[in-house]
Amino acid sequence: MLLKEYRICMPLSVEEYRIGQLYTISRHSHEESDRGEGVEVVCNKPHTDPVHGEGQFTEKRVHLSSKLPSWVRAVVPRLFYITEKAWNYYPYTITDVFFFSFQCSFLPKFSIHIETKYENNCGTSENIFSMDKKAYDLEVCFLDIAYDDVPERHYKTTEDLRWFSSAKTGRGPLKEGWRESSKPVMCSYKLVAVKFEVWGLQTRVEQFVHKCSF
């Protein structure tokens, strides 16, 4: 298992981010379905947790085989799907992703577990997940939404936050050091565990998922 913590700051408040998150999830599901990949909502219902209180549980089945790199498609059959289970107790969420196939025995050994917490700060909270650091070699990665490199195929000039300015809020463009100077600012803390227990492929697949997802 490869475990990392990601910290992603944004020039928003936690309350504003929740609205944007709901819109983005809805838009993404719609776009993937339009491309023929398919996003099926299996379950969507209220859920109560004894620790986190009232929340929402959703389960989705996603078919995204065409997005896999060629070396993965060579060992994974086309007839497989991803099951995503999410427990939303905003500002804390849990997401589990499982890979299934009727033709491939090793996919059940492939899973991703994500815990997310949102706070109104610039990524300064240490050990927000109360981890025993002696038990894990935990790498913390800061992601900069404005200045980290973006692959050319994903880059859009209209979405470049180094130049974009919001007419509605007056925020932006984001200059160097924006995380320390912006108000409001929030951070999405993500604890991501990727597990692929297949000899010979484990390290490569776990590193690939972290690299492509964040």
Give the containing element (helix H, strand E) for 60. Answer: strand 53-62
Cα separation, 77 vs 194, whole angstroms: 20
pLDDT number for residue 89: 96
Instruction: Check whether 189 has a pLDDT greater than 70.
Output: yes
What's 183's domain CATH number? 3.30.530.20
Q: What pLDDT is recorded for position 93?
A: 97
Task: Identify the burial level of 153 via C-beta atoms within 10 angstroms of its C-beta, where 0-12 means exposed, 13-18 middle and 19 or more buried.
Answer: exposed
Phi-psi region of 98 (alpha: psi -120 to 50; beta: other; left: phi over 0): beta
pLDDT over 60 at 197, yes or no: yes
Q: Are 80 and 65 in contact (CB under 8 A)?
A: yes
Beta-carbon contacts of 25 under 8 Å, excluding residues fewer than 6 positions away, are none
Spatial distance between the Cα atoms of 161 and 20, rounded to a whole number of angstroms: 16
Average pLDDT in the chain = 84
| Section 144-172 average pLDDT | 92
- Note down the domain range covering 145: 2-213
Number of domains in the chain: 1
Q: Which of 83, 80, 59 is nearest to 68 (CA)?
A: 80
Give the tens place of pLDDT for each residue, 54-102: 999 999 887 765 555 565 555 555 556 788 999 999 999 999 988 765 5
**pLDDT computed for residue 17 by the predictor:** 94
Q: Give the DSSP H/E element, type plus range, for residue 61.
A: strand 53-62
Q: pLDDT tens, 112-148?
A: 999 999 999 999 999 999 887 656 668 899 999 999 9
pLDDT confidence of residue 75 = 54
Across residues 19-48, what is the average pLDDT?
75
Tokens of 170: 């007056």
- CB–CB of 115/89 below 8 Å? no
Global pTM reads 0.84
DSSP 149-197: ---GGG--GGG-TTT---TTT---PPPTTHHHH-SS-EEEEEEEEEEE-
> Is residue 203 packed enough to be buried (19+ CB in 10 Å), middle (13-18) or exposed (0-12)?
exposed
Tokens of 172: 């932006």
Confidence of residue 210 (pLDDT cuts 50, 70, 90): confident
Distance in angstroms (rounded) separating the CA atoms of residues 176 and 140: 21
Distance CA 138, CA 134 (A): 9
